[in-house]
Amino acid sequence: MVGSDYLSINNKVLLIDTLTVNVSTINIDSLITSNQSRILIGNYTDPILGKVTSESYLKLTPDNYYIGSSESDTQTVTYVFDSIAMILKYDRYYYGDTTKTQTINIHQLTQKVKPNTDDTNFYNISSLTYDSKSIGTKTFHPKPIGKDSINIQIDATFGKNLFNKLYNNDITDANEFDDLFKGVVIKPSTTNSSNMIGFNTSSVLRLYYKKANSDSKNSLTKDFTLSDLTKQFNNILLDRTGTIIQNLPDSKSKLPSELTNNNAFIQSGTGLACRIDFPFINQLKYISEKGIIVDAELIIKPNKTSITSLFPLKDSLEVYESDNLNRISRVLTNSDGSQKLALLNTTPDEFNENIGYKVNIGSFLHQEMLKTNGAKSTLILAFPNISKGVNRIVLGNQKNAENKLKLKIYYISY
């Protein structure tokens, strides 16, 4: 419209894309891995971050403490032990090279599955003592998509003992059962593994028995299940020795991306997360007397060379607000209350400039701009299901020429 130009004079609308953004890697040391409904087993050596190992602790309980169809089953006397096996059911999660075989070992726990601390959780760094003698081992080609489960034959002596205790009514309740059989740990062998495999919590320890002198084909079963999921957790460790993040400080500090080739790292399970600081955000206060950051678009790009078919991208990142000591205060949300995610934009353009995780953080930055005291907040990026998997990603900072982080701040004065 003729004359509209005069309208633009009172309110300055600006785009600021030069604000300094500091990117770093932090180490969250207390991921709750109990009650996550995944048995995660395996190890692999990440070419960048080092060797990742996950072993799973689980308590297995029977529905009842007798053999046969009921406590008064007259047939019970005729039953004899046949065999025992751990049946691990794939939950379709895997990471790493599944064309390589994996060897797993099952050990009896020598300690009850009870948290050491005051709370009811187990963490990625939690562990329990176990008998060094394995009661079952298997080397297999993981087929997390093609097959339903794997079967690991368990030591017959162990199985027979379990059968007899129930057969003879030596065990009649949960406490007595706990004293006899505290649970198992399923460990990957220290060598010979290049992948992580997820199994679901309908996995069972299955005891086979049959009538004396009958065929194994007609055997009956008794299942020991994960009836209490809070009694199952994964111990996930990263051995960073010799890697670029060898000097990752404790959970209250950060490792600046400038010291790690202008990259920051996220790895689920082991607690690596990416922290983003906006050290000069309150300088924007001085653009005009009164102003609002109405929107801000943060695009953080995965390092292209770090993405392979073995280590694929996930389509989103979770965004948390935290303090300077990496203590998370809240998860960023959308206007409808749902969790705000940094979403992977894969729509290619001419220069592939748009491939990256994008999240709008205008409200967060506006709040930060207006803060008058020194308590700046930071953002922490992590994968969804951070406690369940071991996915990792390498993200570029503002100085990373190939995968440069971008921040566009939209500002209006009023």
Footprint of another protein on this chain (CB under 8 A)? 1-9, 11-17, 290, 292, 294-295, 297, 332-335, 340, 360, 362-364, 366, 408, 410, 412, 414
CA–CA separation, 178 vs 353, rounded Å? 58
Pairing of strands 39-46, 195-199: antiparallel
Minimum distance from CB of 383 to another protein (Å)? 21
Q: State both tokens at 154.
A: 């368990």
Contact assessment for residue 20 and residue 407, using Cβ atoms and an 8 Å cutoff: no
Choose between 97 and 295: whose C-beta lies nearer to another protein.
295
Beta strands in 38-110 (DSSP E): 39-46, 50-58, 61-62, 79-96, 102-109
CA within 13 Å, CB half, 261: 11
Q: State both tokens at 214.
A: 């009958």
Minimum distance from CB of 398 to another protein (Å)? 17
Choose between 89 and 406: whose C-beta lies nearer to another protein.
406
User: Alpha carbon of 60 to those of 112, 152, 226: distances in Å?
Assistant: 11, 15, 5
Task: Give the phi and the psi of residue 40 in degrees, each rounded to 5.
Answer: -110, 120
Choose between 3 and 146: whose C-beta lies nearer to another protein.
3
Choose between 84 and 365: whose C-beta lies nearer to another protein.
365
Minimum distance from CB of 366 to another protein (Å)? 7
CA–CA separation, 92 vs 89, rounded Å? 9
Minimum distance from CB of 295 to another protein (Å)? 4
Virtual CA dihedral for 157, 158, 163, 166, nearest 10 degrees? Answer: 130
Minimum distance from CB of 397 to another protein (Å)? 22
Choose between 128 and 365: whose C-beta lies nearer to another protein.
365
Choose between 308 and 338: whose C-beta lies nearer to another protein.
338
